[in-house]
Structure 1
Amino acid sequence: MQELIPINVVIGDRTYRIKIEPQDEEVVRKTLKLINDKVIEFKTQFAGRDMQDYIAMVVLWYATQPATEGAPGLDRTVLDALARMEQQLDKVL
């Protein structure tokens, strides 16, 4: 197991110190950029809210995006496996 590396991340107006696998750093940073860009976008669209409102809107937006758009770290194999599992659940339900 590789040693976790500490990085500082900023979400909205707060800084967090987290530890991640070195190979995950690029994905984490790209995801943070996407999140912070969306916070800025929502701030311009919905003036007068507080930061918690903007972050909640971003979380909702991110969670409802198709996997290829909303989760840059997922590869095609994982997406295919998730689609197969969803089909199996649909059959059972």
Structure 2
Amino acid sequence: MADELSINININGRIYPLRIDRKQEEKCRKAAKMINDIVLEYKKKYANQDAQDFLAMTAFQFVLKNLEMEQLADESPIIEELKLLDEHLNDYLSLNE
């Protein structure tokens, strides 16, 4: 891919080399910063825990947020309600013709 870029991402003090699409660089760096910010918050709250615990809790937090967003984006209940409403309206209108 001609538009690839090699970058190093620092997550919790470890460097991870990545080859990404150049357009994704800002998003990748922002994601790493978000992870590091949350890990830092856990480190402040729970000083005696292992770094692995902070990463696990950070991953857990992101997955929960992702599941919440998926649930909000699920339009199927709305579509079903609209279909039902359409049926009721059609029934009503056919009775009044």
So what's the TM-score if we normalise by structure 2? 0.67
Superposition deviation, residue 42 in structure 1: 0.4
Structure 1: gaps of 5 or more residues: 68-78
> Alpha-carbon deviations, 1:40-78, whole Å to 9, x = none?
0000111111111110010001111144xxxxxxxxxxx
Q: Establish whether residue 83 from structure 1 lines up as the match of residue 74 from structure 2.
A: yes
SS in 1 for 2:74: helix
In 2, Cα distance between the equivalents of 1:62 and 1:17?
Answer: 22
Query: CA shift at 1:2, angstroms?
Result: 3.9
User: Structure 2 matches for 1:14-29, cutoff 5 A?
Assistant: 14-29=14-29
Query: CA shift at 1:17, angstroms?
Result: 0.3
TM-score by length of structure 1 reads 0.69
Match of 1:30 in 2: 30
Q: Which runs of 4+ in 1 moved over 3 A?
A: none
Q: Counterparts of 1:19 and 1:83 in 2: how far apart (Å)?
A: 32
- Distance, in Å, in 2 between the alignment partners of 1:23 and 1:10 is 19
Cα root mean square deviation, aligned: 2.0
> Radius of gyration: which is bigger?
2
Letter in 1 for 2:6: P
| 1:62 match | 62
Identity %: 32
Indicate the structure with greater helix content.
2
> 2: CA distance between counterparts of 1:2 and 1:56?
35
Aligned residues: 74
Q: Which runs of 5+ in 2 are unaligned?
A: 81-97
* Superposition deviation, residue 35 in structure 1: 0.6
